[in-house]
């Protein structure tokens, strides 16, 4: 089967949207399959795929943030930190996994390109639509 290896990879990369508190004191990130969302709603995708770490307000304090070694970035200050211009290309390459965020160590920010690709059954234009609409939504959250 053509996709078998790919499926494993996806399963490993899928970001969780839930967090289990269990008996352990430390919260843990639970990996769950990505829920289906509409490629035309940036907000719906953000709430399903990003808010668990970056927070519903995108400021970096989602419920899973405490379980990560590295704090999820504040996504409302992307423009401010980039000389006032929203860095759409950078966000695209982070999502596609083309930009390595850390010089050392493991990367906790999941790569979404292959997940969106699988979800879109290989239709690149749908992948692009997802990324474009996520970008539009995140851009709309920028603080002045």
Buried b (16+ CB within 10 A) or exposed e, 8-19: eebeebbbbbeb
- Cβ atoms 16, 72 nearer than 8 A: no
Smallest Cα–Cα separation from 131: which of 57, 71, 58, 49? 49
Report in angstroms how near the CB of residue 2 gets to ligand HEC at its nearest.
26
Please give the C-alpha separations between residue 132 and each of 5, 19, 47, 81, 136, in angstroms, as whole numbers: 28, 28, 16, 20, 6
Determine which helix (DSSP H) or strand (DSSP E) holds 12, and give its type and residue range: helix 4-13
Taking the complex as a whole, the smallest distance from the CB of residue 54 to ligand HEC amounts, in Å, to 5
Name the residue nearer to ligand HEC (CB basis): 2 or 104. 104
DSSP state of 85: S
Q: Which is nearer to ligand HEC, 81 or 123 (CB)?
A: 81
- Choice between 90 and 123, CB closer to ligand HEC: 90
Q: How far is the CB of 117 from ligand HEC (least distance, A)?
A: 13
Considering beta carbons, is residue 78 or 127 the nearer one to ligand HEC? 78
Q: Smallest distance from the beta carbon of 23 to ligand HEC, in angstroms?
A: 22
Q: Measured from the CB of residue 47, what is the shortest distance to ligand HEC in angstroms?
A: 10
Q: What is the DSSP letter of 18?
A: E
Q: Which residues bind ligand HEC (CB under 6 A)?
A: 15, 29, 49-50, 52-54, 64, 68, 70, 72-73, 75, 78, 91, 94-95, 101-102, 108-110, 112, 134, 138
């Amino acid at each position: 089967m053509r996709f078998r290896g790919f499926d494993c990879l996806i399963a490993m990369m899928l970001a969780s949207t839930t967090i289990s508190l269990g008996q352990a004191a430390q919260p843990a990130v639970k990996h769950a399959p990505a829920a289906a969302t509409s490629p035309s709603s940036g907000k719906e995708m953000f709430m399903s795929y990003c808010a668990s770490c970056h927070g519903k307000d995108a400021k970096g304090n989602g419920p899973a943030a405490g379980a990560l070694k590295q704090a999820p970035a504040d996504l409302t200050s992307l423009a401010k930190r980039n000389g006032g211009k929203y860095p759409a290309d950078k966000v695209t390459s982070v999502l596609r996994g083309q930009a390595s965020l850390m010089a050392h160590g493991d990367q906790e920010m999941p790569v979404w390109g292959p997940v969106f690709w699988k979800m879109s059954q290989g239709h690149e234009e749908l992948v692009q639509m997802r990324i474009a609409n996520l970008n539009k939504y995140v851009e709309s959250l920028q603080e002045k």
